[in-house]
Amino acid sequence: MMNHMRMSSIALGCCLAGACASAPSVTSPSSSSASAAPAAHAQPVTVSAVTVPTLEAERRAILAELVSFDTSHGHETDALRPIARRFEDAGVHAEIFEPAPGRGTLVARLKGSGAKKPLLLMAHVDVVPVEGQPWTVPPFRATEKDGFLYGRGVSDDKGMASAIVAIVVELARSRVTLARDLIVALTAGEERDKVGIRWLVEHRAELDAELALDEGGNIVAADDLSRVDAVEVSVTEKITQNYRLVVKGPGGHSSLPPTDADPTAMLARALERVAAYRFPPRVLPPVKDQLAFRASREKPLIRGALERLLASAPKVAPADEKTLSTDRYLNALIHTTCVTTMLQASPQANVLPTTAEAVVNCRILPDETPAQVQATLERAIGDPAVTVTLEPRPGGVAPLTEIDASVMEAVRKAAARWPGAVVYPTMLIGSGDSRFLRAAGIRSYGLYASPTSFVEETTGRTAHGPDERVPTKWLDDGVRFLRDVVLDLAR
């Protein structure tokens, strides 16, 4: 291990024998459910004089607890200690490892018979910052109002983490027979430095899973949230790459501005060219079914463009590209995209900058490389005074996960609770920790446990946005859905 690593290991004991021995077996729920009562009204289960919450109630309690910890600037260990205690109470061995002080990653293991290789259940407990965002509720307190649950991380990714913990705790209490070990990994640093997943892949040899379920998929509700229409299973993801654009200048006093070469103006022109450039569109195989689903539910103009695109794939006609680019999500599915996210120049108002810099964040289709995009940006800018360099990034380009028939069938069976919902593979337009698993030979599939709508996603109230929220109506169905998938794959 690295010499600078501070590792704390919390070994966790066994549960109360009476509670474990007497708990009821877990059965797959019926396809009930859109109108299921919220967890606040769910009845707890009493076993041998020990009262334990229902799966749905426990998931909600864990989610509220996780949201209460501000993990936007580290401190993941603080959020994980209560989770470790929950596993301890259920008799699940768990450890918290700290590759850096306070940057904890939890690994827990529920033993199965060993007839099959383990199933890894993974989520991250860090979140993006809230500074500068116009929140209308306290971001680090779970707040329910107007049919939504608000709080930083309810969507990305504490919602998934809470569901995983509740499911494994329930299975441990009920002593259900499993053919696989279930490994839980709740990681640090997914949003920033990948400190958790990198450490796990490099140092935990027992992370010997055959399959993994991570974030990255979606459960798509109708725009009015009246029903669930689709379940997306991500099998690949875009490549995230930052590029730093730099223009140098002589500096000096602001009373003597340059008349020949102003670095901020040169940088601004370069960024305008980046914003105006459109990468060539194309339809990759993992998104065709998703585009077909969208075509069946869109208004005539976009529906027609999607139908023609599906017929011409992988090519996209210019007129159809123009139409589809009006939809932010569809645009991201068929393009590599680049956007300026950070700017820096002079440290003071009356000082001319010696350097003007910008960070351009690109999300690259997985059949393209960061070096190719760098060359494209340089051509689009067309100014040798603007240097374009790749920022360091952890992890490489991960391969497409094989679309396993047994995984897709498990998802379809679990999704049968929502009549008419379709299941299809897709590409994650962001990026997550799964690429590290795929590169290590673990087949990783992206799912989700909190149904929401495309409207919610495109209006900025989900991952990374102010007032991050998920519909409360579907929270309980979401955790039951994920529980069914886990049980199907683990038996």
**CATH code, 131:** 3.40.630.10
Regarding pTM above 0.75, the answer is yes
Q: Is residue 62 part of a domain?
A: yes
Residue 454 lies in domain: 17-237+398-490
Per the structure, the count of domains in the chain is 2
Q: In this predicted structure, what is the pLDDT of residue 33?
A: 33
Say if residue 462's pLDDT is above 50. Answer: yes
Helices (H), 5-157: 17-22, 55-67, 76-90
Q: In this predicted structure, what is the pLDDT of residue 88?
A: 93
Query: Can you point out the beta strands (E) in 192-344?
Result: 211-214, 218-221, 228-237, 239-248, 252-253, 337-344
Q: Is residue 71 part of a domain?
A: yes
Residues 417-449 as b/e (b if ≥16 CB within 10 A, e otherwise) read bbeebbbbbbbbbebbbbbbbbebebbbbbbbb
Q: In this predicted structure, what is the pLDDT of residue 37?
A: 34
The partner residues of 110 in beta bridges, in order of sequence, read 182
Q: Give the C-alpha separation, 345 to 358, whole Å.
A: 9
Q: Is residue 11 part of a domain?
A: no
Q: Are residues 375 and 424 in the same domain?
A: no
**Mean pLDDT, all residues of the chain:** 89
Q: Are residues 361 and 449 in the same domain?
A: no
Say if residue 19's pLDDT is above 50. Answer: no
Q: Are residues 42 and 154 in the same domain?
A: yes
Q: Are residues 352 and 477 in the same domain?
A: no
Q: Are residues 209 and 243 in the same domain?
A: no
Q: Are residues 480 and 367 in the same domain?
A: no
- 3-state SS class at 22: helix
Q: In this predicted structure, what is the pLDDT of residue 427?
A: 93
- 3-state SS class at 160: helix
Instruction: Summarize pLDDT for 77-89 with one digit per residue, the tens.
Output: 999 999 999 999 9
Instruction: Summarize pLDDT for 140-172 with one digit per residue, the tens.
Output: 999 999 999 999 999 999 999 999 999 999 999
Q: Are residues 233 and 247 in the same domain?
A: no
Q: Are residues 147 and 96 in the same domain?
A: yes
Say if residue 21's pLDDT is above 60. Answer: no
Kindly state the DSSP code that residue 3 receives in the 8-state scheme: T
Say if residue 32's pLDDT is above 80. Answer: no
- Residue where a domain stops, chosen among 369, 390, 411: 390
Half-sphere exposure of 211 (CA within 13 A, CB side): 23
Q: Are residues 97 and 246 in the same domain?
A: no
- Residue where a domain stops, chosen among 390, 410, 430: 390
Q: Is residue 33 part of a domain?
A: yes
Question: What is the three-state SS of 82-99?
Answer: HHHHHHHHHCCEEEEECC
Q: Are residues 419 and 480 in the same domain?
A: yes
Q: Are residues 224 and 183 in the same domain?
A: yes
Q: Is residue 245 part of a domain?
A: yes
Q: In this predicted structure, what is the pLDDT of residue 130?
A: 97
Cβ atoms within 10 A of the Cβ of 407, count?
22
Q: Give the C-alpha separation, 440 to 205, whole Å.
A: 11
Say if residue 435's pLDDT is above 70. Answer: yes
Compute the average pLDDT of residues 175-194: 95
Q: Give the C-alpha separation, 133 to 140, whole Å.
A: 13
Say if residue 3's pLDDT is above 90. Answer: no
Choose among 421, 481, 406, 423: nearest CA to 28: 481
Residue 474 identity (one-letter amino acid): W
Kindly state the DSSP code that residue 77 receives in the 8-state scheme: H
Q: Is residue 201 part of a domain?
A: yes
Q: Give the C-alpha separation, 337 to 405, whole Å.
A: 31
Choose among 326, 335, 339, 488: nearest CA to 406: 488
Whether residue 142 contacts residue 205, with contact meaning beta carbons closer than 8 Å, is answered with no
Q: Are residues 375 and 255 in the same domain?
A: yes
Q: CB neighbours of 5 closer than 8 A, spacing ≥ 6?
A: 98, 99, 100, 199
Q: CB neighbours of 239 closer than 8 A, spacing ≥ 6?
A: 363, 364, 365, 366, 368, 369, 370, 397, 431
Q: Is residue 329 part of a domain?
A: no
Q: Give the C-alpha separation, 165 to 122, whole Å.
A: 10
Percentage above 70 pLDDT, the chain: 89
Q: Please work out, in degrees rounded to the nearest 5, the angle formed at the alpha carbon of residue 8 by the alpha carbons of 6 and 11.
A: 160
Q: Give the C-alpha separation, 264 to 13, whole Å.
A: 60
The partner residues of 50 in beta bridges, in order of sequence, read 47
Q: Is residue 311 part of a domain?
A: no
**CATH code, 349:** 3.30.70.360
Instruction: Summarize pLDDT for 207-228 with one digit per residue, the tens.
Output: 889 999 999 999 999 999 999 9
Q: Give the C-alpha separation, 46 to 60, whole Å.
A: 19
